Structure 1
Amino acid sequence: MILYPAIDLKDGQAVRLLRGDMDKATVFSDSPATQALAFQDAGCEWLHLVDLNGAFAGEPVNGAAVEAILAATNVPAQLGGGIRDMQTIATWIEKGLARVILGTVAVENPDLVREAAREFPGKVAVGIDARNGKVATKGWAEETDVMVTDLAKSFEDAGVAAIIYTDINRDGAMQGPNIEATEALARAVQIPVIASGGVSSLTDLIALRDTGVISGAISGRALYDGAINLEEAIAALK
């Protein structure tokens, strides 16, 4: 199981939100690229980046910070937030991004996900963010009636590289991930599932790994707060 350190970008800074609330942001670094380099030096295999402003604006906002991270590091990075058309997808991949994460657009324009996955094999992931089993969009500001498993299954034949499943109620709350729901999703689809939201200890990571079906986990606040030591966690998950 791969551990993805998260760098959430708001106004050019690395922050963490509590349950997706933009008004409840804690700034962890004024230099996201320096933070990314620290994660790389600790041995991470991937980076998980989120353009929080972009998720609300519907277009990239923290592009300069993302480009600085890509320039400073050489591990693959995936990015979500505000990526809602083919031009933006193509631009990011040309700039060296290993994977784009399509969230809101996966609900509103699933054909774009399919087109992008065909055009850029292995480079398109679907971000499914859920509250109480139902998908939320537009930076989690809008809730839908779409069930998580139904949305995931609809992309089974699309060539999607991964599904990043976030339980919004757990995100940034340091209360542990929703292992049961994440495992159920991973068992329901063939697409690799990455857990996100609430991963706050080495115990959480090992519990996710021990399901045998979850391919990755994303952690942010716990790494910044020191609740998870990145080097130790990577070694344990090997």
Structure 2
Amino acid sequence: MIVIPTIELQNGKCVTLYRGRINEPTIWHVDPVQRAIDFAHAGAEWMHVTDFNAVVNDGDNSDLVTRIIRSAGVPVQLAGGFRTMEHVEAAIDKGAGRVVIGTAAVRNPDFVKQAAKLHPDQVVLAVDVFQGNVVIDGWRQKTAFEPESFIREFETAPLAAILVTDVDTDVGDSDGSIGLISHLADIARAPVIASGVVRTLDDIARLKYVRNIAGALCGRALFSKTFSLPEALEVAKRDASEPVAEMI
């Protein structure tokens, strides 16, 4: 399993959200490009960047994202506002290693399937789950879809991965259980990336033994210095004899 450091952008700044509230960000007074370079130098194999402005359709951080992609030195997985094929093409053209599609997958699943066929192993399906249902629009809208049936809708698409966020855990409404993500990883055909459950090194230690979990996003804990990226990477190492879901 790999640990994927996360940079979340809003209005040109690194942020994290409190309980998912887009209007109440915690702002980290660091340079986003330099932080990306630092993560790469610390051993990151991949990096995840979320553009919150693009998520809520309030402009974007496109120029900053381009600088991160060009400076990081490792592949970047980009999330936020991918609603059309043109958006996907533009991100890949600027050098994004993968793009993450969530809301548009609910509203237009054929778009995601087509994007995955055109760009095999570069499209990631985002599945955000709150109180048993898939949520969209930055967790603001609950859908009627259960995550199991939603994931199965895309089982024949050549996805790079499925990014599963346990929103209940991320907003602090549970004890940090990895039960939901473990369950969904067990039924998914594509490798699963866990999001919203890493608060401590112990969470990484538990995740790395779950079948079909290939990676875990880690943002808030790194920015708040709960632990360092080298510490997280060391915990995430497996014995060579143990089966690991392959990240492409």
Q: Is TM more than 0.5 here? A: yes
Q: Equivalent residue for 1:2?
A: 2
Counterpart in the other structure of 1:18: 18
Cα offset, 1:236, TM superposition: 2.2
What is the CA–CA distance in structure 2 between the aligned matches of 1:62 and 1:225, rounded to whole Å?
23
For 1:84, the aligned partner's letter is R
Amino acid aligned to 2:206: A
Q: Is the 8 A contact 2:4 2:46 kept in 1?
A: yes
CA distance in 2, matches of 1:212, 1:111: 28
Q: Tell me how far 1:30 sits from its aligned partner.
A: 4.5
CA contact (8 A) 1:202 1:228 kept: yes
What SS class does the counterpart of residue 88 from structure 1 fall into? helix
Separation in 2 of the partners of 1:142 and 1:90?
Answer: 27
**Which moved further from structure 2: 20-29 or 84-93?**
20-29
Residue 159 to residue 214, structure 1, CA distance change in 2 (3 Å):
same
Q: How does 1:153-192 map to 2 (within 5 A)?
A: 153-171=152-170, 173=172, 177-192=176-191
Q: What is the distance in 1 between the residues matched to 2:141 and 2:210?
A: 31
Of 165-174 and 216-225, more deviation after overlay is shown by 165-174
Distance 2:174 2:74 in 1: 29
Residues 193 and 60 of structure 1: CA distance in aligned 2, closer, same or farther (over 3 Å): farther
When the two structures are superposed, what TM-score results if normalisation uses the length of structure 2? 0.91
Matches within 5 A, 1:60-139: 61-139=60-138
Deviations 1:41-93 (Å, cap 9, x if unpaired)? 11111101111111111x86111111110121110110111011000100100
Q: Structure 1 length normalisation: TM-score?
A: 0.95
Distance 1:35 1:172, change over 3 A: farther
How big is the shift at 1:152? 0.8
| Equivalent position of 1:208 in the other structure | 207
Distance in 2 between residues matched to 1:172 and 1:98, nearest whole Å: 28
Q: What's the offset of the Cα at 1:211?
A: 1.7
- Aligned-pair identity in percent equals 37
Distance 1:124 1:80 in 2: 10
Structure 1 equivalent of residue 145 of structure 2: 146
CA–CA distance in structure 2, aligned partners of residues 17 and 198 of structure 1: 14
Letter in 2 for 1:107: V
State the superposition RMSD in angstroms.
1.6
Rounded to whole Å, the distance in 2 between the matches of 1:27 and 1:173 is 19
1:48 equivalent in structure 2: 48
Task: Tell me the SS of whatever aligns to 1:22.
Answer: coil
Unaligned runs of 5+ in 2: 238-248
- Secondary structure at 2:67 match in 1: helix
Aligned residue-pair number: 237
State the shift of 1:178 in Å.
Answer: 3.7
d(CA) in 1 for partners of 2:134, 2:2: 24
2:245 corresponds to: none
Greater fraction strand = 1
Work out the CA distance in 2 between the residues paired with 1:237 and 1:176: 21
